[in-house]
Amino acid sequence: MKPNTSLYQELVEDFKEQNTIIDQQINIFEPLTASLRKPAAQRLLNKGSLALFEIVFYILFIGSLVFAFMLKHLVPFYILYLLKQRGAESGFPTSDVNTLYWSIVAMSVLLAIVFLYIARLLRKIRLKNTIIHTVNKHIKVLLQEHLKRKSKIDTIEKKYFTELPTLESGKVDVNDVPNPGYE
């Protein structure tokens, strides 16, 4: 029984097309895996350190807010509160004392906002590192599958290297035949 030559030719062309597509995909995935190998922020800190600093900055955020509300009870700052309460009898202008007191409260609230912002940024970095690590793992698996498929295609191509180019044209040019010893 003679095989259908058009089907055979289409299968060979599809085989060659798969080979070029896999080569292109490997060329795309290799630089990705190299760039994703280690997240930028992880070069400085690992996941545990990022989580620790995140917790520290949340604690500093809460501490700054507590400081703003408990200012009148803290050792060096209770004097300002007393001066604010006594007003003119303290010998200082009331507006200056009030401005100083509320400036310190505003700075502690502003500092709390900065601590919250830093903690949120650390959280984003930690989550992005996790995502980048997961993506890198999946791209590595995909690249391994492509390399396995590429090696199977290369094996088949080297095994039947004289038969593959003959289907495109009736005569074979010496430059069209791949050299299995060259790769």
pLDDT per position as a tens digit, 124-140: 988 887 887 788 788 88
Neighbour-count burial of 44, counting CB atoms closer than 10 A to its CB (0-12 exposed, 13-18 middle, 19+ buried):
exposed
Q: In percent, how much of the chain has pLDDT > 70?
A: 78
Neighbour-count burial of 125, counting CB atoms closer than 10 A to its CB (0-12 exposed, 13-18 middle, 19+ buried):
buried
Interval 140-179: pLDDT, tens: 888 888 888 888 877 877 777 666 544 444 555 656 656 6
Please say if the pLDDT value at position 97 is more than 90. Answer: no
Mean pLDDT, all residues of the chain? 79
Confidence of residue 181 (pLDDT cuts 50, 70, 90): low
Interval 10-41: pLDDT, tens: 777 777 888 788 888 888 777 777 666 655 55
8 Å CB contact between 64 and 171: no
Please say if the pLDDT value at position 44 is more than 80. Answer: no
Mean pLDDT of 60-85: 88
Residue among 71, 57, 82, 59 at smallest CA distance from 105 = 71
Please say if the pLDDT value at position 55 is more than 70. Answer: yes
